[in-house]
């Protein structure tokens, strides 16, 4: 989850709800989307299912949600490792004294990132002038254009 709206490449405005923190406090979720970032080795990655929470001062990544999405999360010794479903290292973070793992992610511009994506949905999203993913999924299901494969929203 994050507070700055500008970090998102696309937002689903129909999503809302509340998130409860460990201290019992809650905040409103306004929208949900995805953000692109660059790893230290120069590779680009996407974090999906990111909540937009206005006024949130820090970016927070849920290890439970990463694990639930199929990523492998390892806490061992002084490090936290997160591996993607395909086995690629997503992040490695040294444990600080307060046990709050911090990682800095460099935001990436969407146009550069899409040249490297191989996923059908993102490829067709780019081919059709960055049409909304819901519209792309609808076009696919209703067979409104020839050649578009079955689409699933990445959000």
Q: What is the pLDDT of residues 65-108, one digit of tens each?
A: 888 888 899 999 999 999 988 888 888 888 888 877 877 766 66
Are residues 136 and 67 both part of a single domain?
Answer: no
pLDDT category of residue 112 using cuts at 50, 70 and 90: very low
Length of the chain: 155
Query: Is residue 114's pLDDT more than 60?
Result: no
Asked if 56 and 3 count as a contact pair (C-beta separation under 8 A), the reply is yes
pLDDT category of residue 5 using cuts at 50, 70 and 90: confident
Are residues 123 and 104 both part of a single domain?
Answer: no
| Residue-number span of the structural domain to which 129 is assigned | 115-145
Are residues 69 and 134 both part of a single domain?
Answer: no
Q: What is the pLDDT of residues 35-70, one digit of tens each?
A: 887 777 777 778 888 899 888 888 888 888 888 888
Is the whole-model pTM more than 0.85? no
Mean pLDDT across 120-145? 74
3-state secondary structure of 35: strand
Which has the higher per-residue pLDDT, 126 or 75? Answer: 75
Which has the higher per-residue pLDDT, 138 or 81? Answer: 81
If one counts the domains in the chain, the total is 2
Are residues 66 and 102 both part of a single domain?
Answer: yes
Are residues 129 and 108 both part of a single domain?
Answer: no
Are residues 107 and 141 both part of a single domain?
Answer: no
DSSP result, 45-111: EEEEEEEE-TT--S----HHHHHHTT-EEEEETTEEEEE-TTS-EEEEEEPPTTS------EE--HH
Query: Is residue 119's pLDDT more than 80?
Result: no
């Amino acid at each position: 989850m994050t507070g700055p709206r500008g970090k998102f490449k696309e937002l689903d405005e129909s999503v809302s709800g509340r998130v409860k923190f460990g201290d019992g406090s809650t905040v409103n979720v306004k929208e949900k989307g995805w953000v692109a970032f660059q790893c230290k080795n120069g590779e680009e990655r996407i974090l999906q299912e990111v909540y937009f929470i206005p006024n949130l001062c820090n970016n927070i990544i849920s290890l439970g949600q990463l694990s639930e999405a199929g990523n492998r999360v390892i806490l061992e010794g002084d490090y936290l490792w997160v591996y993607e479903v395909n086995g690629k290292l997503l992040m490695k973070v040294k444990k600080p004294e307060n046990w709050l793992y911090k990682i800095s992610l460099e935001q990436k511009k969407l146009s550069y990132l899409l040249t490297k994506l191989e996923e059908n949905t993102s490829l067709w999203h780019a081919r059709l002038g960055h049409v909304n993913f819901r519209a792309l999924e609808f076009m696919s299901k209703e067979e409104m254009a020839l050649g578009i494969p079955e689409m699933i929203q990445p959000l």
